Structure 1
Amino acid sequence: MSTLTLSPAVATDLPRRAWVAQIMSLPISIHLRGPAAESPAIAALVAEAFGELRADEELFSIWRPDSPASRIRDGRDQIADAPPRLRHVAALCELAEYRTGGAFSAWLPDASGVLRFNPTGLVKGWAVQQASALLGERLRRFGAHDLMINAGGDIAVACTRTDTPDWVVAIEDPRDRSRLLRALHLRTGAVATSGTAARGAHIVDPATGMAADGLLSATVIGPELTWADVYATAAFVKGPTAVGWLATLDRHAGLLVEPNGRVTAIGAPEA
């Protein structure tokens, strides 16, 4: 998991505010700094962003029995008949499966070995990236603001100001979550971590239907949370062999932690 801290050098006279909501079964927080950060108009924009994330939760949840995703999952509906937003995500999942060589898939076996639709491995990062981009556009009429969204430790940041320090994103040690492995200084981009420290062995290898166990955590840093999240999941599934694969990903960097404690860094994150 990634955690966010603010640099102590942040100007004390720059308005800033944070909001948090429980969506997709995790805390999602939105952080802003800029001239109108404390205004009611900005609070309304943030509420709109949370509303859009809740709408995506209703559309894609596989735990709500009558959601469009659940109806596809149990065979009541087909993707071709789904709402356009769901069809778009299904297409992205196919692209993700291709890009990761099958280490990521939206079709995972259930306890009986039947393949079931499960786009949640892509949806969270994609939905947060969408919300971040839309909120950033809406903020423009209020002047330059810096934005960060933290979705349960997966983070998207965007700075439009030039007089502020970087956001500082800390990567937890999965062996001891009170310790930090790295501190990343970012002005734009995303950080996503897949692992067992927070939720146990929940990441399934599509090839075997079993929980992947070759790593303790895989963190990916890249331009967009959609793909950083997908690639972190795929890297975790690939295990230690993900080192070579991550090195081929343009504009992405990674940090892998193996069960024996070995930590491998791949590439360097772009600021």
Structure 2
Amino acid sequence: MRRVEHVMGFPVSLLVEDEGARAEDADPVFAWLREVDARFSPFRPDSEVSRLDRGELAPGAVSADLAEVLGLCERYREATGGAFDVRLPGRGLDPCAVVKGWAVQRAADLLHAAGARRFCLNAGGDVVVSGGPWRVGVRHPEHADRLCTVLELTDGAVATSARYERGDHILDGRTGRPATGLLSLTVVAPSLTEADAAATAAFALGAEGVAWAAAREGCEVFAVDAERRVFRTAGLPTAA
């Protein structure tokens, strides 16, 4: 069963290879992602995030889901010494760097709960896989038609932060300036919640982010810095 929708500002594709998989099995996945977009998008004036940012909601009155997301944001802010920050001066609250991976991982959990065992869920290039082996390509940061490496995973997640799609959009919260020490950084982790947030946080740290991400439990890293040097951790699951 294969299904693709545009949700949360990017294409989301789901491939389920279990025998007997039905198109309607994907309905809860995409319904959940649409719900997340409506509730947590900082670009929607009626979202819970926007209402909190405007002071219309007290911090103690937010939903349990938003409280969890904000807790994760604070954890990464502290872990990076402020390089990762969803509350930058002069900008509204924007937890998207955590929301995406958290929401897509929750969608993968819904699939597991419904009995899916072999699937690939790809959300704008960040991927959760189950029941592999699955091969996941890592795009070259300067050539869209090339790959830097190919990973092979049975179960887990892959996320990449880079400058090639949206330019210098990741800011170092310590300076408020774009993070330019890396061209791209990919994290492999057991969950996309960790992989996606860790990739963004490490990118915000700049060149020091490679070692920071590599030191996180369960994380493997592939990175290209601004000098075009390549770094990879020893346990990176590279395809043969």
Query: Do structure 1's residue 80 and structure 2's residue 60 form an aligned pair?
Result: yes
Contact 1:136/1:147 (<8 A) preserved: no
Match of 1:148 in 2: 120
Query: Do structure 1's residue 34 and structure 2's residue 12 form an aligned pair?
Result: no
1:263 deviates by 1.1
2:42 match: secondary structure: coil
Cα gap change, 1:214/1:108 in structure 2, threshold over 3 Å: closer, same or farther?
Answer: same
1:102 match: secondary structure: coil
Cα gap change, 1:101/1:158 in structure 2, threshold over 3 Å: closer, same or farther?
Answer: farther
What is the one-letter code of the residue matched to 1:59? R
Contact 1:61/1:120 (<8 A) preserved: yes
1:168 match: secondary structure: strand
Within the candidate set 186, 199, 207, 2:166 is matched to 199
Query: Do structure 1's residue 55 and structure 2's residue 39 form an aligned pair?
Result: no
In 1, the alpha carbon distance for the partners of 2:181 and 2:35 equals 35
In 1, the alpha carbon distance for the partners of 2:40 and 2:86 equals 12
Match of 2:155 in 1: 188
Match of 1:135 in 2: 111
1:230 deviates by 0.9
Match of 2:99 in 1: 123
- Using the size of structure 2 for normalisation, the TM-score is 0.93
1:31 match: secondary structure: strand
Contact 1:194/1:236 (<8 A) preserved: yes
1:178 match: secondary structure: coil
Match of 1:92 in 2: 72
Match of 2:89 in 1: 109
The structure showing larger relative contact order (alpha-carbon pairs under 8 Å, at least 6 residues apart) is 1
What is the one-letter code of the residue matched to 2:236? P
Contact 2:76/2:201 (<8 A) preserved: no
1:208 deviates by 1.4
Identity %: 38
Contact 1:222/1:269 (<8 A) preserved: no
Contact 1:104/1:230 (<8 A) preserved: no
Contact 1:191/1:222 (<8 A) preserved: yes
In 1, the alpha carbon distance for the partners of 2:135 and 2:2 equals 15
Contact 2:85/2:173 (<8 A) preserved: yes
- Using the size of structure 1 for normalisation, the TM-score is 0.83
- The within-5 A match list for 1:158-169 is 158-159=130-131, 166-169=133-136
Cα gap change, 1:98/1:267 in structure 2, threshold over 3 Å: closer, same or farther?
Answer: farther
Greater Rg by CA: 1
Gaps of 5+ in 1: 1-16, 160-164
1:94 deviates by 1.5
**Worse overlay, 98-107 or 68-77:** 98-107
2:145 match: secondary structure: strand
Contact 1:218/1:257 (<8 A) preserved: yes
1:139 deviates by 2.0
Match of 2:223 in 1: 256
CA deviation string 1:195-252 (max 9, x = no partner): 1101111111111112111111111111110011111011111111223223321211
Query: Do structure 1's residue 235 and structure 2's residue 209 form an aligned pair?
Result: no
**Worse overlay, 244-253 or 55-64:** 244-253
1:105 deviates by 2.1
1:21 match: secondary structure: strand
1:270 deviates by 5.4
Contact 1:195/1:218 (<8 A) preserved: yes
In 1, the alpha carbon distance for the partners of 2:63 and 2:189 equals 29
Cα gap change, 1:85/1:247 in structure 2, threshold over 3 Å: closer, same or farther?
Answer: closer
